[in-house]
């Protein structure tokens, strides 16, 4: 495999962000490459047109008016400046500033992150601990408890284990550890430092105002019948709690407003940006496919350095320029090949999936890599590379190119239906089901068979789980 081919394959499989980094690295290392827009902006004097006389007169008149206003402002400003200033004086020695400013790094961090920055749960809890009045012994106990609290806010060690780990250093009883734990459970976020789900939900309910509707009934359900609630055994819940369906529904809504993992709001998640490589839009009843012009700058060979090679001798400097010129040409050719291949593959995908663009997921056609490879006369490995980490912007949203590939299922009429379309049908059937009697996987299999789509029950279960849809017994509702 030649170096040129290796470079072409490397550029082909890079994502948009990685490609931008690769281009910037090439610009920094190869003097023969330059950005076309940047070079065009450096105009010479010959390229500047002369201003017509009429424009000059009007400009001079406006400039004179502006100069008059500027002189008045300058005079008033000059009156405030002391006439005699020491040579080594600073601006702050003469004029008062509004206060000390933040370093540039702090300004940049606030600008880039804004209000999205949040402290970790551990830092948030220790901050509250420092503001709470504790004795020295209780503070040591509290720190041990916080160290045993995970990032979700759940206590991972029992009170007895924490007490046993400290009894050798401190003369304390287990009840003292429990008392400190109860104080920490009043910290923000509500439900933190709880030992199990029941205690977590009860602590959150106990911090709600006493006037909250159905608060007492919600406490009763969480305290005594949490397992029945988890199993969605509403018949037993109604009988045990002696509530009406409306009251049970209201109590359940209150419980569902709580969070089982109080620390989730403090989890740091890295922001991922998606830059579409291809834009798809409908123009004059035809689907147009265009490359995103902003994903990479337009590059070209620096003509000044290229001309120097023609006039130079056989010195080491000239050899260096020749090598860089050859590498720059290879890089530009590989970049052009990448764009052409990406556009060709994206155009073929749009041609085959016009039904999806017009009507949605239910109209998605089955398609595999071999289909596109045959249509564009390329190898399947090339299609795989060009569709990985590449995104298409459509009127229905932004999708990875691999999204449009799916396996097929035979229909009763001898046709084929894509797995993406089947997933959409399953989601549609579940969205329209009776919440009191949700559809089982077997029932969904029968409903799809009525539409001519033969799918096994285990396949339905696999598709349902891939869409993070719980089974029928967990989807059951009172209303």
Give tens-digit pLDDT for 269-279: 656 778 899 99
Q: Nearest CA to 375 among 411, 345, 404?
A: 345
Tokens matching residue 284: 């004059």
* Antiparallel, parallel or unpaired: β 278-283 and 391-394: parallel
Which residue stretches of the chain have pLDDT < 50? Answer: 39, 41-70, 73-74, 76-78, 81, 85-118
Cα 15 to Cα 9: distance, rounded to the nearest angstrom: 12
Burial class (CB in 10 A: 0-12, 13-18, 19+), 325: buried
pLDDT at 5 (0 to 100): 80
CA 244, distance to chain mean position in Å, is 43
CA 172, distance to chain mean position in Å, is 48
pLDDT at 143 (0 to 100): 93
430: how many CB neighbours lie within 10 A of its CB? 17
Q: How many CA atoms lie within 13 A of 415 on its CB side?
A: 8
CA 110, distance to chain mean position in Å, is 19
306: how many CB neighbours lie within 10 A of its CB? 13
For residues 52, 53, 58 and 63, what is the CA-based torsion angle, rounded to 10 degrees? Answer: 90
Q: How many residues does the chain have?
A: 479
| Residue with tokens 């749960």, as numbered in its chain | 121
Cβ atoms of residues 313 and 322 within 8 Å? no
437: how many CB neighbours lie within 10 A of its CB? 11
Triad 351, 20, 3: Cα angle to 5°: 85
> Taken in order 395, 396, 400, 405, is the CA torsion positive or negative?
negative
Condensed to tens digits (0 to 9), the pLDDT of residues 173-211 reads 999 999 999 999 999 999 999 999 999 999 999 999 999
pLDDT at 194 (0 to 100): 94
Q: Domain locations in the chain?
A: 121-265, 278-404, 408-475
Partners of residue 453 on adjacent β-strands: 411
pLDDT at 456 (0 to 100): 86
Q: How many angstroms separate the first and last alpha carbons of the chain?
A: 65
Q: Nearest CA to 404 among 428, 369, 453, 455?
A: 369
CATH 1.20.1090.10 fits 408-475, yes or no: no
Cβ contacts of 175 within 8 Å, gap of 6 or more: none
Q: Nearest CA to 222 among 207, 202, 244?
A: 202
Cβ atoms of residues 402 and 388 within 8 Å? yes
């Amino acid at each position: 495999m030649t170096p040129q081919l290796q470079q072409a394959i490397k550029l082909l499989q890079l994502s948009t962000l990685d490609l931008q980094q690769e281009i910037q690295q090439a610009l920094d290392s190869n003097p023969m490459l330059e950005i076309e827009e940047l070079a065009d902006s450096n105009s010479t004097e010959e390229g500047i047109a002369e201003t017509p006389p009429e424009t000059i007169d009007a400009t001079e008149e406006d400039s004179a008016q502006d100069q008059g206003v500027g002189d008045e402002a300058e005079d008033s400003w000059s009156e405030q400046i002391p006439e005699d200033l020491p040579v080594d004086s600073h601006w702050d020695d003469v004029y008062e500033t509004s206060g000390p400013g933040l370093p540039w790094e702090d300004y940049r961090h606030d600008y880039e992150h804004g209000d999205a920055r949040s402290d970790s749960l551990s830092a948030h809890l220790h901050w509250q601990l420092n503001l709470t009045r504790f004795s020295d012994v209780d503070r040591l106990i509290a720190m041990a408890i916080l160290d045993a609290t995970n990032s979700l806010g759940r206590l991972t060690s029992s009170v007895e284990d924490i007490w046993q780990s400290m009894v050798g250093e401190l003369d304390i009883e287990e009840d003292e550890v429990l008392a400190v734990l109860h104080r920490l459970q009043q910290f923000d976020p509500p439900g933190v430092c709880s030992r199990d789900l029941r205690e977590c939900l009860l602590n959150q309910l106990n911090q709600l105002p006493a006037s909250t509707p159905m608060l007492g009934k919600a406490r009763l359900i969480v305290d005594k019948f949490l397992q029945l609630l988890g199993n969605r055994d509403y018949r037993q819940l109604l009988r045990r709690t002696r509530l009406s369906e409306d009251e049970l529904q209201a109590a359940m809504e209150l419980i569902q407003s709580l969070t089982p993992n109080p620390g989730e709001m403090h989890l740091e998640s890295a922001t991922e940006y998606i830059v579409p490589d291809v834009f798809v839009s409908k123009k004059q009843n035809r689907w147009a496919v265009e490359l995103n012009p902003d994903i990479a700058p337009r590059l070209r060979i620096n003509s000044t350095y290229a001309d120097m090679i023609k006039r130079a001798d056989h010195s080491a400097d000239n050899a260096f320029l020749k090598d860089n010129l050859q590498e720059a040409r290879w890089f530009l050719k590989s970049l052009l090949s990448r764009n052409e291949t990406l556009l060709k593959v994206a155009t073929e995908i749009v041609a085959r999936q016009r039904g999806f663009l017009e009507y949605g997921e239910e109209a998605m056609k089955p398609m595999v890599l071999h289909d596109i490879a045959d249509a564009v006369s390329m190898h399947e490995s090339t299609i795989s590379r060009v569709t990985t980490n590449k995104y298409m912007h459509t009127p229905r949203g932004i999708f990875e190119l691999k999204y449009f590939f799916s396996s097929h299922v035979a229909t009763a009429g001898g046709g084929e239906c894509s797995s993406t379309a089947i997933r959409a049908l399953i989601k549609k059937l579940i969205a329209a089901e009776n919440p009191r009697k949700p559809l089982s996987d077997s029932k969904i299999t029968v409903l799809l068979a009525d539409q001519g789509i033969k799918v096994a029950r285990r396949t339905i279960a696999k598709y349902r789980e891939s869409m993070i849809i719980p089974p029928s017994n967990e989807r059951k509702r009172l209303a």
